[in-house]
């Protein structure tokens, strides 16, 4: 049998916000398809009730400075359910505040809770995997010792918290994990700057459904003129930077920018478009179903999102799968998947002048070069389908010890 025990702080559910990232579920779902037995422990954090009152009042301000989404509702009851063959066990775990660490007592109690649950399920894992270090790092380390099986810890954007948790013992704890996964090259570099290079690691990229890779036949006779942004309209995604840069690069020429999404920056987008007298060149259709988003990607020449911080960003892959000339942020999560000038381009996050320079350069490129970059982007996404990334992930883990 191939039994995977997967611990995570974030997991989608029907009673959660639709903004909850399903990335961990996508891996688990694909492993089940491949014949693995997967039990997910969702260590859902919950706080004193006053915390949710404060979060609901200041959530717009909070989201301006923090990438992750704070919960606005308390989920303090256990829930056990299945989704697409994956068994999920929500075991809420108490924290004093969103920024505090878990107490040793709380962690020990959660560890015993997981052990008892596994006994009740007659489930003995062959490997223990964690996503997000707090509290997973402690739990998978202890469970790995208890079951005498390999451990894998995947970091999203939570490198420095390892020092916060373990202090001078952090390097020793790092060595005790069999293999580390990194959601981006930037995260790996931050990790190795703190703890040194490690040989047992892999990139834990997200994937997209193979069925979504259905690009149109691309021609770029007029270069790039139709631009697209998809995401939350928040300051750290710099949507107004696109307007400044595109207007600078194509001033007086025909172009169009479509912003799909919602958020408090919408008023700033509209204000800047009016100020530059290009309101007729900017569309804001709001949030759209995924099927409509893909149609817009097919109709666009170029997708741009130069946000910071950005752990990975599936929307980049989706745009690349449609053959869009895709521009991402240099030094952020998509850097390494997008190779500058090969399958897309990278620009400095939030810098409209650098982006304008890049757009002017792209506009002078021969059509055959743009077609080549578009085709390379599509080829990249074929290697990053849900099935392929899940296969690469579990093969990296099982290479340490056979399970």
pLDDT tens, residue by residue, 277-300: 999 999 999 999 988 999 999 999
- Both tokens of residue 330? 């240099």
Domain 3-207+386-398 - what CATH class? alpha beta
Residue 66 or 145, more confident: 145
Distances (CA, A) of 11 to 16, 81, 131, 269: 9, 12, 10, 33
The one-character DSSP state at 216 is P
The listed range with the strongest mean pLDDT (74-78, 131-135, 261-265) is 131-135
pLDDT for the residue 112: 98
| pLDDT band, very low/low/confident/very high, at 273 (cuts 50, 70, 90) | very high
| pLDDT band, very low/low/confident/very high, at 403 (cuts 50, 70, 90) | low
Give me Rg for the CA atoms of the chain. Answer: 22
Tell me the mean pLDDT in the region 364-375. 96
Smallest CA-to-CA distance from 123 within 80, 159, 157 is with 80
CA 220/CA 371 separation, integer angstroms: 7
pLDDT for the residue 51: 66
The one-character DSSP state at 146 is H
pTM as predicted: 0.86
pLDDT for the residue 265: 93
Smallest CA-to-CA distance from 309 within 93, 64, 130, 74 is with 64
Handedness of CA 398, 399, 401, 403 (dihedral sign): positive
CA 340/CA 360 separation, integer angstroms: 15
pLDDT for the residue 17: 72
Domain with CATH 3.40.50.2000 in the chain: 3-207+386-398, 210-382
CA 15/CA 153 separation, integer angstroms: 27
CATH of the domain spanning 210-382, picked from 3.40.50.2000, 3.30.70.20, 3.90.1150.10, 3.40.50.300 = 3.40.50.2000
Q: Is the pLDDT of residue 99 over 60?
A: yes
| pLDDT band, very low/low/confident/very high, at 364 (cuts 50, 70, 90) | very high
pLDDT for the residue 60: 56
Q: What is the signed CA dihedral for 123, 127, 132, 137, rounded to 10 degrees?
A: 90
CA 373/CA 325 separation, integer angstroms: 7
Distances (CA, A) of 247 to 168, 270, 272, 296, 355: 51, 14, 11, 21, 11
Helix or strand or coil: residue 45?
Answer: strand
Helix or strand or coil: residue 351?
Answer: coil
Tell me the mean pLDDT in the region 231-256. 94
Residue owning tokens 């990229």: 205
CA 347/CA 148 separation, integer angstroms: 46
CA 36/CA 89 separation, integer angstroms: 17
């Amino acid at each position: 049998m191939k039994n995977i025990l997967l611990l995570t702080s974030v997991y989608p559910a029907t009673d959660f916000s639709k903004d909850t990232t399903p990335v961990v579920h996508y891996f688990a779902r694909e492993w089940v398809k491949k014949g693995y037995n997967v039990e997910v422990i969702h260590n859902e954090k919950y706080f004193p009730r006053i915390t949710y009152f404060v979060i609901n009042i200041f959530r717009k301000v909070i989201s301006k400075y923090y990438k992750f989404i704070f919960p606005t509702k308390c989920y303090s009851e256990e829930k056990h359910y299945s989704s697409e063959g994956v068994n999920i066990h929500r075991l809420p775990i108490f924290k004093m505040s969103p920024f505090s660490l878990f107490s040793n007592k709380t962690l020990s109690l959660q560890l015993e809770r997981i052990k008892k649950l596994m006994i009740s399920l007659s489930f003995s894992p062959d490997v223990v995997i964690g996503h997000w270090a707090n509290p997973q790092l402690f739990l998978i380390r202890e469970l790995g010792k208890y079951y005498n099986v390999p451990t894998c810890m995947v970091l999203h954007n939570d490198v420095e918290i390892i020092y916060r948790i373990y202090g001078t013992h952090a390097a020793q704890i790092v060595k005790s994990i069999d293999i580390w996964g990194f959601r981006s090259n930037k995260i790996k570099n931050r990790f190795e700057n703190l703890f040194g290079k490690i040989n047992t690691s892999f990139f834990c990229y997200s994937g997209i459904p193979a069925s979504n890779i259905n690009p149109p036949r691309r021609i770029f006779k007029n270069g790039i003129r139709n631009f697209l942004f998809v995401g939350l309209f928040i300051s750290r995604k710099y949507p107004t930077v696109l307007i400044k840069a595109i207007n600078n690069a194509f001033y007086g020429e025909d172009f169009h920018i479509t912003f799909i999404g919602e958020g408090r920056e919408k008023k700033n987008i509209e204000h800047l478009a009016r100020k530059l007298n290009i309101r007729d060149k900017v569309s804001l259709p709001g949030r759209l179903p995924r099927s409509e988003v893909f149609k817009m990607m097919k109709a666009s020449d170029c997708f741009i999102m130069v946000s910071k911080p950005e752990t990975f960003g599936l929307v980049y892959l989706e745009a690349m799968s449609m053959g869009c000339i895709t521009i991402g942020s240099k030094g952020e999560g998509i850097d390494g998947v997008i190779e500058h000038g090969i399958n897309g381009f990278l620009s400095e996050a939030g810098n409209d002048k650098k982006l304008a320079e890049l757009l002017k350069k792209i506009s002078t490129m021969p059509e055959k070069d743009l077609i080549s970059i578009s085709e390379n982007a599509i080829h990249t996404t074929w290697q990053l389908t849900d099935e392929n990334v899940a296969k690469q992930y579990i093969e990296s883990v099982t290479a340490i010890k056979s399970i």
